[in-house]
Amino acid sequence: MKHLGTKTMKTDRLLLRPLLIEDAEAMYGNWASDPAVTKYLTWPAHQSMDVTRLSLKYWISQYDRKDFYQWGIVPEGMETPIGTISVVDHDDSVGMVHIGYCIGRSWWGKGYTTEAFRHLIGFFFDEVGVNRIESKYDVRNTGSGKVMEKCGLLYEGTTRGSDVNNQGICDSALYGMIRSDYLE
């Protein structure tokens, strides 16, 4: 893998860009403080803007690393992000990136997460040179699974009681795509 870091990219309807400290208000208001958005995530809804600013400061401090990938999702015609998509884990020994995402409730069902994820699939296979892209979700969060399916990831199995999120211990469905799938 040739890590390239969080570079700004454009899709048909989105700008995928590094987050800025100026995004704190949008992040807090659009998704980070909403318990419906964080229901199946591993971090709780932010109780204050201070928590959001701390998260942003940490991510911003990591942008110099070539193996750090954290994008704000900004729809065309907007200035501020409505969610994020990122590499939450990677394993260079097998060329794998694990993608995670969350988006504000007001933008659910509009295809923004799918569009962002599809674009990153091309970026990671074509530019970074990964061998595998994977993602997983709590089986109760079917909307997240639909994103993975629409992006062409294949269902690889469900592991029972194998993960934990804001709902407690949960069953987790794993989806993946390897380079040969992508090239077909």
* CATH number, domain 9-135: 3.40.630.30
Q: What is the pLDDT of residues 1-14, one digit of tens each?
A: 999 999 999 999 99
Say how far apart CA 56 and CA 94 lie, in whole Å: 29
Domain boundaries, the chain: 9-135
pTM over 0.85: yes
Say what the pLDDT of residue 55 is: 97
Say what the pLDDT of residue 162 is: 97
Instruction: Check the CA dihedral 151-115-55-145 and report its sign.
Output: negative
Say how far apart CA 155 and CA 176 lie, in whole Å: 7
Regions in the chain scoring below 50 on pLDDT: none
